[in-house]
Each structure stands twice: as structure tokens, then as C-alpha cells.
């Protein structure tokens, strides 16, 4: 009798549990998405009809597959409308449904906005009730965790309070010598290749850009050089694909960082010079990895007190993690997908574990070595001052280290790669900027005052970031009912604006919006288009990228020193195929014919 009673009770508990789970799933997958869409539809908003569980993912994938084939071009492109190749459905839906429309990623409901005034309201909103979408922290957890890129509310405010002062322009000025060190490594490498190739070398620049970027990040932020952190960077890079201090200075802190950037640039230039000399005066160089190395070197030196070679392990793991994450593609919105033991998820879980171990080893070394005035030290002190358990302290440090690596490493490297591609495709602008650099520097070491005078270089970088911005989508989520323009946005609704649309809309930028024309920035960003707030390569408003000052100084020092040492054209092997892997990157890399001046 007791056994029968226990059996009935057990069956009852199981039934109640299953029923509760059913209602929870039903609410998440059907009821809540339906409520959100209904609220917006009652206000006149329309959009493509979603399917159960998948939303509009199948439509998006189909449109993207078709556009990707058409967007692949041998040699330099006639048009730089990469938005039409990467996420073509946004423009299609905008034409059909207007500047504000609805769509779904799985059960995630999104309002897409391109109306200028609404974009201004959303991106400049300072309320903590509007933040980064919660699904990003869940679906990109292995890659981004709860760091500053994905956190919200008081947690985000605390993280920003710790990190932001270390990346103000006064601090960045103090990192120029560090960036210069990283550049020297790259220059020496290219110099050796060019010499070995008899004066002209075909160089794939991708790895050099990543090495540079990683070296800067490691030296500047983490107290290690790239070689030590490379494993972490590669693991983060793989995960991305699987999921798709103050330094020596001349004027107190104002000159040190320019010198830092220049050092990193000289490293890159020496590398290219060697390649060109080896190739007999002209070399075909793939620049992608070179620029990543440069970017990593600057970040490493400027923020973590080390150069890229010391932190290389971290960068390589992060790169692998980034690649693993980007493979998930549109599946991010499908409920429960992140929990399934798929090949991509298993790869991401293993990489996440490795990266955590590598970063905590760097932290342990720092704690044993003692105090350094850099970003890592600020993180450690900020964590100590937080009311967190030991495990949560480690997570706080690891997540923000990953965020800094990814934001400072990948975006700078890819931005440098695109800028060099555009200069290689436009020899008149290459000569124009080179003449300016030589006139301003006059053979002297680059400093902050010099790069401020390089107007032509600034125009080229601004135009490159307009056409190939590191940020593709500005996304937010309403954590309570809010109102933007005449639209009532219910709690739980996501709001997106597609940066590539804002950056290349002919109605905003003129009929040459898809062309490379740096002259449009002759009077600065405010003179370049009708709505300057729509130019947002690093985001905009309170969630703007903290590292944009460092990234821009890195780019200026790197490009200036490369132009001072080499001339370059696109290799005939170059295939223009923009690809989306969290950032917009060259799908087949960038190869340049490099010749020493």
C-alpha cells in the first residue's frame, strides 16, 4: 500500500514537473514572443512572417547564401557595398516594411531601426533600463562571459568605472612608444621577407596585423608580450569561428604611448622590409595576420605591461574561440541550442576552459610579481573591491580579460587590414598620405603632435571605418517598457540598427556612398554626412567602445610607419570576399605586393 502511494506521489510530482516545464517552454517559445510582436503590430509595425522556433533564420540564411556568392570578386571591388553581401535581408526588409520593422532570431524578437532620430534616441539613451541583449551573454557566454561588452546595470557601470580611465586619451598618449615597439617588430619581419625575395614580396598581411594587435594589447594591458599570450588569442579566435601602464615618455604621459605604438609598427615594418628584400624589391604579402600581431602587440604593451610574444598563447586561443563562436551563425536565436553537445559547442567548451586557465596563470604571475600600473592591475583591484566570492572574482577577471583581448585585438587588426587594402587599391591616395607623413615627420620619431597633424591619414582611416566598420550591429534590449519616437517598446524587446546601412545609405552620404572617397571627411565627421551620429564604427553613446582612442592611435602610427617604409599594391591573387565573424574580415585574407622605399 505504501509503495503504491509513493508511486502515485512520484507520478504526480513528475507530472507537475513536466507540466511546469511545458508551460515555461511554451511561454518562452510561443506566448512571450507572440505578446511582444502583437504589441508592436498594434502600433502599425510590420515585418517578415516568422516560423515556429526558427523565426526568420531560414529566410536570412537563404538570402545571405545567395548574396555571398555575388559578393565575391577577384581583385579590388568596384563597389564597397559589403552590407548587401553580408546581411542583405536588412535592406530588402527595409525597402518592403520601412525604416522601422520587426523580425525574429529564433524566439528573440527584434525591432530594426534606421530612422535617424530614433537611432539617436536609442544609442544615446543613458538609462540602465536599456542595455545589451541578454541573449548575447547566454549564447556568447564562452566567448564574452559577463564582461563589459555584455553586462548591464550596476555590474556594467562598475566595470566601466574601473576600465574607462585606463583608456582615456591622456593614457593612450603615454602608450605611443609601446605601439612603436610593436610596429618595429612587424617592419623588421616584412623587411626580411622583401630582402629574401629580391626586393618585391607577396605578403599575406593578416597574420602580421593580428600579431601586431595582440602584441600591443598584451604589452599595454596585461603585462606580457604576444608570444606568451598567443595561445589564448588563438583559442579565442577558434572559439569565434566555432560560434561564428604608463611607459617612457618625453612629456610626462603624453608622448609615451605614441612611442609605444611606433615601436610595434617598426617591428612590423622590419618584417615586411625583410620579405621585400628577400623577394628582390617587390613582395606579395598577405597582411591580415601581420596586422593582428601588430594590434595585439600594442594592446599587450599598453594595457597589460607585456609585448605580444609573451601573450601570444592567449591571443591564439581567443582567436580559435572566436572562430568557434561564429560557426553558430543564425542558430544563436534557437532555444536551447547552446546546451546541446554539438561539435561546435564541445569545441567552444574546451577552448573556454583552456583560456580561463591561461588567463588565471597570467593573473597569478602578476600577483606574485607585484604591482604594475596597467589595466590588468586595475581589474585586480576592482575585483578586490567588489563583494564577490572567490569563483566570481575569477570570473570577473577572466571575462573582462577576454573582452579586452577581443575588442582590442580583433577589431584593430581587421581595421588595419581593410585600410591597407583600400590604400593598395587607390595608389593616388597612398601617395597623398605618404607625402603628408614624410612632410610631418621629417625622419623623426612619431609622436602624438605629429599624428594630430596628419589630416589626410585621418580622412583615409575614417573612410575605411565607414566602409568596413568593426561594429556591424548596434543592439539593445529594453528591461522595462520604454518609448522611442512614437513607438512603445515593451520590456524584453530587442532593438537593432545595422551600422552598414547607416554608413552607406546614399540619402545620408550622397550618390557616391559605396565608393572609397576620403575627401568626404575633409571637414571632419560633422561635414561628411547629414546625420553625423549615424557614423558609429565603434558604436555610440554610453556603450561606445572604450578602446576607440587606442585603436585610432594604433592605426595612425601603424599606417604612417608602413607608408614611410614601403609601397604596396594588391596582389593579383587577392579575392574580395567580406566575411562576418563577429567583425567584418576579409574572407580570403589580403595579399599585398610589398616593395621597400
Distance CA 585, CA 588 (A): 9
Residue 369: predicted pLDDT: 72
DSSP string, 539-581: B-GGGS-TTHHHHHHHHHHHHHHHHHHEEEEE-TT-EE-EEEE
Grouping H, G, I as helix, E, B as strand and the rest as coil, residue 12 is helix
Burial classification of residue 394, based on how many CB atoms lie within 10 Å of its CB (0-12 exposed, 13-18 middle, 19 or more buried)? middle
Whole-structure pTM value: 0.83
Structural domains in the chain, CATH included, are 37-139+472-535 (3.30.43.20), 153-471+536-596 (1.10.630.10)
Closest CA to 220 of 585, 562, 462, 557: 557
Digits of tens for pLDDT over the chain (597 positions)? 567 666 666 666 666 666 666 666 666 667 788 899 999 999 999 999 998 878 898 888 888 878 776 667 777 788 899 888 888 999 999 999 999 999 998 889 999 999 999 999 999 999 999 999 988 777 666 777 788 888 899 889 888 888 888 788 888 888 888 899 899 999 999 999 999 999 999 999 998 998 898 888 877 776 666 666 667 777 777 776 666 533 233 333 334 556 666 667 767 777 777 787 787 777 777 767 676 677 667 666 665 556 556 566 666 766 676 666 665 555 555 555 555 666 667 777 777 777 888 888 877 777 777 666 677 777 777 777 766 677 777 888 888 888 887 777 888 999 999 999 999 999 999 999 999 999 999 888 889 999 999 999 999 999 999 999 988 899 999 999 999 999 999 999 999 999 999 999 999 999 999 999 999 999 999 999 989 999 999 988 899 988 899 899 999 999 999 999 999 999 999 999 898 877 899 988 999 999 998
Distance CA 214, CA 409 (A): 5
Distance CA 412, CA 211 (A): 11
Please list, in sequence order, all residues whose beta carbon lies within 8 angstroms of the beta carbon of residue 278, skipping any fewer than 6 positions away: 192, 193, 194, 195, 196, 197, 198, 201
Burial classification of residue 45, based on how many CB atoms lie within 10 Å of its CB (0-12 exposed, 13-18 middle, 19 or more buried)? middle
Contact between residue 295 and residue 213 where contact means Cβ atoms under 8 Å apart: yes
Distance CA 148, CA 567 (A): 39
Grouping H, G, I as helix, E, B as strand and the rest as coil, residue 149 is coil
Distance CA 195, CA 280 (A): 6
Q: Which residues of 20-40 are buried (b: 16+ CB within 10 A; e: fewer)?
A: eeeeeeeeebeeebeebbebb
Length of the chain: 597
Contact between residue 250 and residue 166 where contact means Cβ atoms under 8 Å apart: no
C-alpha dihedral over 462, 465, 471, 473, to 10 degrees?
Answer: 90
Residue 100: predicted pLDDT: 96
User: Is 82 a known ligand-binding residue?
Assistant: no
Residue 493: predicted pLDDT: 96
Distance CA 86, CA 68 (A): 7
What is the DSSP code (8-state) at residue 513? T
Grouping H, G, I as helix, E, B as strand and the rest as coil, residue 523 is coil
Beta bridge partners, 579, equal 585
Distance CA 555, CA 418 (A): 11
Beta bridge partners, 74, equal 575
Grouping H, G, I as helix, E, B as strand and the rest as coil, residue 327 is helix
Residue 135: predicted pLDDT: 82
Residue 170: predicted pLDDT: 85
Amino acid at each position: 500500500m505504501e509503495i503504491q502511494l509513493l508511486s502515485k506521489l512520484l507520478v504526480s510530482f513528475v507530472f507537475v514537473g513536466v507540466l511546469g516545464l511545458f508551460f515555461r517552454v511554451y511561454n518562452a517559445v510561443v506566448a512571450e514572443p507572440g505578446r511582444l510582436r502583437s504589441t508592436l503590430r498594434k502600433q502599425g509595425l510590420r515585418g517578415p512572417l516568422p516560423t515556429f522556433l526558427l523565426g526568420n533564420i531560414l529566410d536570412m540564411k537563404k538570402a545571405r547564401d545567395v548574396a555571398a556568392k555575388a559578393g565575391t570578386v577577384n581583385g579590388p571591388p568596384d563597389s564597397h557595398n559589403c552590407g548587401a553581401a553580408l546581411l542583405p535581408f536588412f535592406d530588402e526588409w527595409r525597402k518592403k516594411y520601412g525604416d522601422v520593422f520587426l523580425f525574429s532570431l529564433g524566439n528573440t524578437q527584434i525591432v530594426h531601426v534606421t530612422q535617424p532620430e530614433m537611432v539617436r534616441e536609442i544609442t544615446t539613451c543613458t538609462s540602465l533600463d536599456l542595455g545589451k541583449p541578454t541573449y548575447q551573454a547566454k549564447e556568447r557566454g564562452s566567448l564574452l562571459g559577463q564582461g563589459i561588452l555584455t553586462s548591464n546595470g550596476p555590474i556594467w557601470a562598475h566595470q566601466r568605472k574601473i576600465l574607462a580611465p585606463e583608456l582615456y586619451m591622456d593614457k593612450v598618449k603615454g602608450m605611443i612608444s609601446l605601439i612603436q615597439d610593436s610596429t618595429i617588430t612587424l617592419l623588421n619581419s616584412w623587411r626580411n621577407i622583401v630582402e629574401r625575395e629580391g626586393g618585391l614580396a607577396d605578403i599575406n598581411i593578416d597574420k602580421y596585423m593580428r600579431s601586431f594587435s595582440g602584441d600591443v594589447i598584451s604589452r599595454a594591458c596585461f603585462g606580457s608580450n604576444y608570444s606568451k599570450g598567443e595561445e589564448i588569442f588563438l583559442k579565442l579566435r577558434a572559439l569565434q569561428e566555432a560560434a561564428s601602464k604608463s611607459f617612457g615618455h618625453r612629456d610626462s604621459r603624453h608622448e609615451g604611448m605614441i612611442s609605444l605604438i611606433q615601436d610595434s609598427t617598426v617591428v612590423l615594418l622590419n618584417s615586411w622590409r625583410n620579405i621585400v628584400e628577400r623577394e628582390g624589391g617587390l613582395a606579395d604579402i598577405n597582411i591580415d595576420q601581420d596586422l593582428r600581431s601588430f594590434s595585439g602587440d600594442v594592446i599587450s604593451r599598453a594595457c597589460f605591461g607585456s609585448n605580444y610574444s609573451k601573450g601570444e598563447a592567449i591571443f591564439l586561443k581567443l582567436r580559435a574561440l572566436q572562430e568557434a563562436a561564429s560557426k553558430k551563425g543564425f542558430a544563436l536565436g534557437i532555444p536551447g541550442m547552446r546546451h546541446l553537445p554539438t561539435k561546435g559547442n564541445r569545441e567552444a567548451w574546451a577552448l573556454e576552459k583552456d583560456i580561463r586557465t591561461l588567463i588565471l596563470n597570467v593573473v597569478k604571475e602578476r600577483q606574485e610579481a607585484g604591482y604594475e600600473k596597467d589595466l590588468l592591475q586595475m581589474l585586480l583591484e576592482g575585483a578586490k573591491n567588489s563583494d564577490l566570492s572567490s569563483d566570481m572574482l575569477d570570473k570577473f577577471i577572466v571575462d573582462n580579460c577576454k573582452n579586452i583581448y577581443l575588442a582590442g585585438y580583433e577589431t584593430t587588426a581587421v581595421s588595419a587590414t581593410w585600410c591597407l587594402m583600400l590604400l593598395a587599391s587607390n595608389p593616388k591616395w597612398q601617395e597623398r598620405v605618404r607625402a603628408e607623413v614624410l612632410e610631418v615627420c621629417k625622419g623623426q620619431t612619431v609622436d602624438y603632435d605629429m599624428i594630430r597633424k596628419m589630416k589626410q591619414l585621418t580622412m583615409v582611416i575614417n573612410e575605411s571605418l565607414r566602409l568596413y566598420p568593426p561594429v556591424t550591429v548596434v543592439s539593445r534590449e529594453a528591461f522595462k517598457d520604454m518609448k522611442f519616437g512614437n513607438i512603445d517598446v515593451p520590456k524584453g524587446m530587442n532593438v537593432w540598427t545595422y551600422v552598414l546601412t547607416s554608413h552607406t545609405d546614399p540619402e545620408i552620404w550622397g550618390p557616391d556612398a559605396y565608393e572609397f572617397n576620403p575627401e568626404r571627411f575633409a571637414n571632419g565627421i560633422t561635414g561628411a554626412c547629414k546625420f553625423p551620429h549615424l557614423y558609429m564604427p565603434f558604436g555610440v553613446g554610453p556603450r561606445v567602445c572604450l578602446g576607440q582612442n587606442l585603436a585610432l592611435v594604433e592605426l595612425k602610427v601603424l599606417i604612417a610607419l608602413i607608408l614611410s617604409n614601403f609601397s604596396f599594391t594588391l596582389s593579383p591573387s587577392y579575392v574580395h570576399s567580406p566575411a562576418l565573424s563577429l567583425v567584418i574580415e576579409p574572407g580570403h585574407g589580403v595579399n599585398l605586393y610589398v616593395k621597400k622605399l
